[in-house]
């Protein structure tokens, strides 16, 4: 008679409430034998085949008629052997399929799963995880270094670094540079490097190219011991069409929609998950919790959310829902359920959405009909900002709204500002190459772009290579241009980014009030179209805790720029993008700046300072009178 616990697990998988489905399905070692289970509800027959039975049909599996789960127990396999499921479809054809719940797959181009039992790890990151549970990341600095694990660095023989290598070199690098988190593009198994990991086949399997599951566990642990959080990209909306993976798993629409029109993802040549199916919900939510718990990752960035919540997002014919709208109600319900379950289990897990529209509330409470994410990528900010910086400065005066428009909606969501991998490939040019002008001016503007990223309300993300101004576009099959750092300008740019990251982490005015962005910023002048100078204040909780940012987006230096200030007193310059140590021409920062009375509509005091061309400065109150009238 079947174990009662197994019955409950099967039934809850069937109803979409089994959030640890990997403990039921896949392969599991029980004493001296293994049990294999796979969900293939419309299969005529399923066999377990592998190196242990010479890929023969000698191990037929038994079907649970209620759940469509097939099972077999055998003592034939040994650890490390390969296996697949051979599925006889309704039309009589037989197809070899990989195990959707495999935690390890053989190296490409092979597609077999590996009989693999990972020993329980004795983690040493308890102090970091304990601090994270007690920390409110909305009110803490969040500065993410985004990277593709397979191309951050290569060995001398042309092979990419594994997570064992990255533990030794990436972790100390990120710590030295002052980032709070890293974000990894998908690390799950995928058949084609050109997809960068966004066309998945093995959702529970670490990509074999990057090493073993144990090595990835150790990598995350090393990050935590260095006080660095780890976020992974995840793709629950669509999956790879390869016939040996989960596509039409039992010969019918299993993980995908039955309706071919809804199942096919034309834009990416993929298949869309049927997010209305309870079994698919169990599969995907289990997968999210698996990465959070088994690997101790700190957060998940959900890719292509728009594709999941809008019926008309893809390049094909579509039908409105029963309400007559373009919303994918199945996708919305799934994402709300996903975030509810994740937050119930791990309230401190960081859930991030890559979503490009404003029609659906993405971040915020489920009770307010939001999707429940913590942060949303602000792709509008990214597109407008980069368009502005690519522009000839002579044309920028009439386009200052490209920078200021984002302040109009910054309270609509909890935003993360991304300068991501998507913007440095496919002929879009690197961040450095996007900048206008000669090489010196490009570096000057890249420095200004990065300080603008830090000054704007919202959490931060920068893709690898941008920190030192790599000129070439990112290539998924090559390492970064580390030899660039032999050039004094690139090295100075890297040191600039490091120093800027230090300022971001140490100045509470840049993140303390970001749950309410409107309270954290005050404009001095957002309409200086003639000089193309933007100035504003970032504020902390205490009245005297504030920073003043002055940006000069023109190619002209202003040697006696009058800047209104909120209080009388002395202000000091704490950061200047044009210092020689950063690649500029200034040998020292400006002396303390004393305010003088002025007749200004907003403030009654002002200071005079030099504002560098294509540069920016940060000012901080040194000795001010808080009782003076504005």
- Rounded to whole angstroms, the Cα distance separating 57 from 70 reads 15
CA angle (453, 459, 463) in 5-degree steps: 65
The answer to whether residues 395 and 440 touch, using CB atoms and an 8 Å cutoff, is no
Give every CB contact of residue 367 below 8 A, 6+ residues apart in sequence. Answer: none
- Rounded to whole angstroms, the Cα distance separating 274 from 281 reads 9
The token pair at 606 is: 């002002």
- Rounded to whole angstroms, the Cα distance separating 315 from 299 reads 31
583: left (phi over 0), alpha (psi -120 to 50) or beta: left
- Rounded to whole angstroms, the Cα distance separating 341 from 41 reads 26
Which residue in this structure is represented by tokens 């001016």?
A: 441
Give the pairing of strands 299-302 and 350-353: parallel
Burial class (CB in 10 A: 0-12, 13-18, 19+), 239: buried
Burial class (CB in 10 A: 0-12, 13-18, 19+), 398: exposed
CA angle (619, 624, 629) in 5-degree steps: 110
The answer to whether residues 74 and 31 touch, using CB atoms and an 8 Å cutoff, is no
Going from the C-alpha of 466 to that of each of 383, 431, 614, the distances in angstroms are 16, 6, 18
CA angle (198, 202, 206) in 5-degree steps: 85
**Sign of the Cα pseudo-torsion (499, 502, 504, 507, in order):** negative
Residues forming the active site = 303, 354
């Amino acid at each position: 008679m079947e174990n009662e616990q197994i019955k409950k697990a099967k039934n809850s998988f069937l109803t979409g409430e089994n959030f640890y489905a990997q403990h039921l399905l896949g392969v599991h070692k029980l004493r001296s034998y293994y049990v294999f289970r796979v969900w293939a509800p419309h299969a005529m027959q399923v066999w377990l085949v592998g190196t242990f039975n010479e890929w023969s049909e000698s191990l037929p599996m038994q079907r649970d008629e209620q759940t469509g789960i097939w099972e077999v127990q055998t003592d034939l396999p040994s650890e490390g052997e390969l296996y697949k499921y051979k599925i006889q479809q309704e039309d009589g054809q037989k197809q070899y399929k990989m195990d959707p719940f495999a935690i390890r797959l053989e190296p490409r181009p092979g597609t077999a799963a590996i009989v693999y039992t990972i020993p329980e790890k004795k983690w040493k990151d308890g102090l970091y995880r304990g601090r994270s549970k007690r920390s409110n990341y909305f009110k803490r600095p969040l500065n993410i270094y985004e990277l593709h694990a397979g191309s951050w660095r290569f060995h001398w023989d042309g092979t990419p670094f594994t997570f064992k290598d990255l533990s030794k070199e990436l972790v100390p690098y990120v710590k030295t540079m002052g980032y709070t988190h890293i974000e990894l593009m998908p690390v799950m198994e995928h058949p084609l490097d050109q997809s960068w990991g966004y066309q998945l086949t093995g959702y529970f399997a670490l990509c074999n190219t990057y090493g073993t599951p144990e090595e990835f566990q150790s990598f995350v642990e090393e990050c935590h011991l260095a006080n660095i959080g780890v976020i992974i990209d995840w793709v629950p909306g669509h999956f790879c069409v390869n016939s040996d993976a989960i596509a039409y798993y039992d010969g019918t629409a299993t993980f995908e929609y039955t309706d071919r029109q809804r199942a096919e993802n034309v834009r990416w040549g993929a298949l869309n998950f049927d997010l209305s199916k309870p079994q698919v919900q169990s599969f995907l939510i289990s997968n999210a919790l698996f990465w959070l718990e088994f690997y101790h990752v700190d957060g998940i960035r959900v890719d292509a959310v728009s594709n999941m919540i809008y019926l008309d997002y893809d390049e094909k014919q579509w039908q409105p829902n029963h309400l007559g709208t373009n919303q994918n109600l199945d996708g919305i319900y799934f994402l709300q359920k996903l975030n509810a379950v994740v937050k119930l289990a791990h309230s401190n897990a960081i859930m991030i959405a890559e979503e490009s529209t404003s029609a659906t509330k993405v971040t915020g409470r489920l009770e307010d009909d939001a999707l429940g994410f913590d942060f949303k990528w602000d792709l509008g900010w990214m597109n407008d900002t980069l368009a502005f910086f690519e522009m000839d400065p002579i044309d920028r005066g009439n386009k200052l709204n490209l920078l200021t428009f984002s302040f109009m909606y910054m309270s609509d969501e909890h935003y993360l500002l991304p300068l991501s991998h998507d913007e440095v490939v496919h002929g879009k040019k690197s961040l450095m190459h996007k900048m206008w002008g000669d090489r010196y001016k490009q570096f000057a503007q890249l420095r200004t772009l990065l300080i603008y990223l830090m000054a704007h309300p919202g959490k931060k993300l920068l893709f690898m290579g941008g920190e030192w101004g790599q000129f070439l576009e990112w290539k998924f099959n090559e390492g970064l241009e580390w030899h660039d750092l032999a050039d004094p300008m690139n090295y100075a740019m890297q040191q600039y980014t490091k120093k800027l990251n230090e300022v971001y982490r140490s100045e509470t005015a840049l993140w303390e009030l970001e749950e309410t962005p409107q309270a954290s910023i005050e404009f001095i002048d957002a309409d200086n179209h003639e000089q193309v100078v933007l100035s504003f204040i970032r504020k902390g909780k205490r009245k005297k805790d504030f920073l003043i940012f002055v940006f000069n987006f023109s190619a002209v230096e202003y040697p006696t720029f009058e800047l209104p200030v909120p209080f009388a007193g002395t202000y000091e310059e704490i950061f200047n993008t044009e210092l020689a140590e950063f690649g500029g021409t200034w040998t020292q920062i400006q002396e303390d700046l004393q305010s003088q009375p002025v007749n200004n509509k907003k403030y009654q005091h002002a200071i005079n300072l030099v504002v560098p061309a294509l540069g920016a400065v940060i000012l901080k109150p040194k000795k001010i009178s808080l009782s003076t009238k504005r």
